[in-house]
Amino acid sequence: MSSIIQLLPDHVANQIAAGEVVQRPASVVKELLENAVDAKATDIKLIVKDAGKTLIQVVDNGLGMSVTDARLCFERHATSKIRQAEDLFKLHTKGFRGEALASIAAIAHVELKTKQDQEELGTHLIIEGSKFLSQEVAVIPKGTSFSVKNLFFNIPARRNFLKSDTIEFRHIMDEFQRVALAHPNIHFAFYHNGNEVYILPASNSRQRIVTIFSGKTNEKLVPVQEETDILTIDGFVGKPEFSKKSKGEQFFFVNDRYIKSGYLHHALMNAYEGLLKEGAQPSYFLFLNVPPNTIDINIHPTKTEIKFDDEQALYAILRSSIKHSLGQFNVAPVLDFDRDSNLDTPYHYKNTEAPYPTIQVDGNYNPFADEKPTKLHNSEKPKPRKESFNENNHAKQSASWESLYVGLKDAADSISEVGGMQFESEDLTAPLFGDNEIEQQVNKTYQIHRKYIVNPIKSGMVIVDQQRAHQRILYEQFLTNMTVLHASSQQLLFPLHLYFSTNEMALIRELQLALSNTGFVFESTNEDNIVISGIPANVTESEVNAVLEQLLRDLQDGVPENSFSQNDTIAKSMAKSLAVKNGTYLTEVAQENLVNGLFACKEPNVSPFQKPTFITMRVEDLDKKFAL
């Protein structure tokens, strides 16, 4: 019987490996940036076209490669980071598997230019689909330049699975931010389709965070520092009042490597216990340094998950250090019975000496005098006042306050005369037909558990979910306003200044026209903030920030390309934010308006999220419940 197991060709094996390593253009960006960091570069430039589908180029001024290394780096499992299995637990670099460049070269057109500092000439390679087309000597500056063009050109099925340019660019932005945050001492530059996205000069961690996320980031950062034998923590956490519903600005770095850890996130949330609103998420930028032999980073292809030896100790140290920082900077209340905060020395008195008190003695003071003497001068003696408190003076003072009530008696008499007047009044007549009163009682609405509204009808009753019903009403209102372009706005007395990160500002600029059609009036749009002078008629000033945050959270995966999908997404998001919540008490008038507004909609049966808004219960159904 012939054998059925065969060795795969190298190009097929590389394409299979590319399925794990290269999931989208952002994966290529991550690998190339990490290689540039490992090459000890101090200046790294990222150039992207068409969200990485057409071109991804990374240029650095690192160590460069020799002619042999330039050819060998595209072979499978070729790496300079490890020599034996034990080196996996002594890693101080980013990449170590040796599969990234081989996988990228198997599914794209790759061009490599590299030169070492001590060499006069460099090397220029061109590879297409794992095939070496040319290798020649070239005059190039020190460092390495990787150009990856036409990603997935030979795997059209994989290329079809890529999302829109907006979504793919967002993933590239995330990978760039992670690498840039981990290495603030490196100068980074990022260009997309010829436009400058980021210019990040070498600086410290705080300045790098503020430069990337802009806005009021500097105001909301609380430093965290802790050093133990098993863990060193350095970084920043956000103040509770700046927390958001989204998890956008949350970064854990272990030995300068970005990771995702639900366990460490739980420790951080535990430190914020009692300080955050329900569902709110704080921002944090934490850099953890642990001995390399206490972690295993080779458990996930993307190396974003790490296995710790002593997770419980890390949990406790992280939680306590964050709590200590929040209390130290007066972000969280501190309970200390041994310290009186009233005795704390203010900062502006810290280095000043206390003045000596001066004592002034009045030798002419007489405690038996009628009145205390006035302010003395050195050459004057106290002179007692001639007037004293007597009955005449008392009568004069009493007459002064009694004069306040002069004329009140006459006013009271005039008011009493009005009481005797007779006014015309309309006679209350009973309705011609007594059924009206009964019908009003039948159509009366009731609220149950501040969640459902019951409205009797002829056949039984209708039970309405107040939140879903209001979502449907608002959704159709917003969608109509954006379609017909006749939304009404209420002008604000003082314009609102709202600050957002760079990513959020990019989304707001894309949605500015659609938001204007809902009733928002943008006075100006700057790099890190917007100024709003008008808001929709059914939105209060205090709700504006929450509405925009909810909208940005719903669109974090990208903005729909066509206008109808944009309007639909915006209308759904705003309806979800502004709809009356379950647990809210509604008056009878509000209940009736909600029910009437629901059944005036085009599709009252379901909410914008395709959930039922009401159910009908007939009298026959109730009779069956009571039947024996």
Most confident of 52-61, 153-162, 413-422: 52-61
- Per-residue pLDDT at 503: 76
pLDDT in tens, 547-581: 888 888 877 666 665 666 778 888 888 898 889 98
Q: Are residues 604 and 521 in the same domain?
A: yes
- The residue to which tokens 């974003």 are assigned: 304
- What is the edge-to-edge ordering of all strands in the sheet holding 446-448? 446-448, 452-457, 460-465, 614-618
Number of compact structural domains in the chain: 3
Strands 284-289 and 250-254: parallel
Q: Are residues 606 and 483 in the same domain?
A: yes
What CATH number should be reported for the domain holding residue 99? Answer: 3.30.565.10
Q: Give helix 502-518 / helix 563-578 axis angle, nearest 10°.
A: 90
Whether pLDDT at 511 is above 80: yes
- Per-residue pLDDT at 439: 47
In 3D space, the residue among 542, 544, 568, 545 whose CA is nearest the CA of residue 555 turns out to be: 568
Select from 181, 200, 219 the last residue of a domain: 200
Q: Check: CB of residue 466 under 8 Å from CB of residue 474.
A: no
- Could you tell me if residue 410 is inside a domain? no
pLDDT in tens, 270-323: 999 888 887 788 999 999 998 887 777 665 556 677 777 788 888 999 999 999
User: Average of pLDDT values for 107-116?
Assistant: 92
- Per-residue pLDDT at 434: 46
Q: Are residues 155 and 256 in the same domain?
A: no
Half-sphere exposure of 248 (CA within 13 A, CB side): 23
Dihedral, 468, 471, 473, 475 alpha carbons, nearest 10:
-140
- Per-residue pLDDT at 81: 58
- Could you tell me if residue 427 is inside a domain? no
- Per-residue pLDDT at 413: 55
- Could you tell me if residue 625 is inside a domain? no
Q: Are residues 291 and 215 in the same domain?
A: yes
Gap between the Cα atoms of 432 and 332, Å rounded: 68
Provide the token pair at 622: 């109730």
pLDDT in tens, 585-599: 999 899 999 999 999
Mean of pLDDT over the chain: 80
Q: Are residues 229 and 181 in the same domain?
A: no
Q: Where are the beta strands (DSSP E) in 392-488?
A: 446-448, 452-457, 460-465
Domain extent for 515:
446-615
> DSSP character for 244?
B
Whether pLDDT at 46 is above 90: yes
User: Average of pLDDT values for 216-243?
Assistant: 88
pLDDT in tens, 66-108: 888 888 888 876 666 555 555 555 555 665 455 778 888 888 9
Select from 328, 355, 371 the last residue of a domain: 328
User: Average of pLDDT values for 208-226?
Assistant: 86
Whether pLDDT at 438 is above 50: no
Q: Are residues 161 and 250 in the same domain?
A: no
**C-alpha distances in Å from residue 601, one per residue of 105, 292, 476, 621:** 56, 62, 7, 27
Gap between the Cα atoms of 180 and 207, Å rounded: 12
Which residues, 6+ apart, have CB-to-CB distance to 617 below 8 Å? 460, 461, 462, 463
- Per-residue pLDDT at 224: 92
- Per-residue pLDDT at 403: 58
pLDDT in tens, 459-507: 888 999 999 999 999 999 888 888 877 777 888 888 898 888 777 888 8
Q: Are residues 35 and 154 in the same domain?
A: yes
Would you say the C-alpha torsion 79, 83, 86, 89 has a positive or negative sign? negative
Q: Are residues 179 and 258 in the same domain?
A: no
> DSSP character for 121?
S
Select from 298, 328, 358 the last residue of a domain: 328
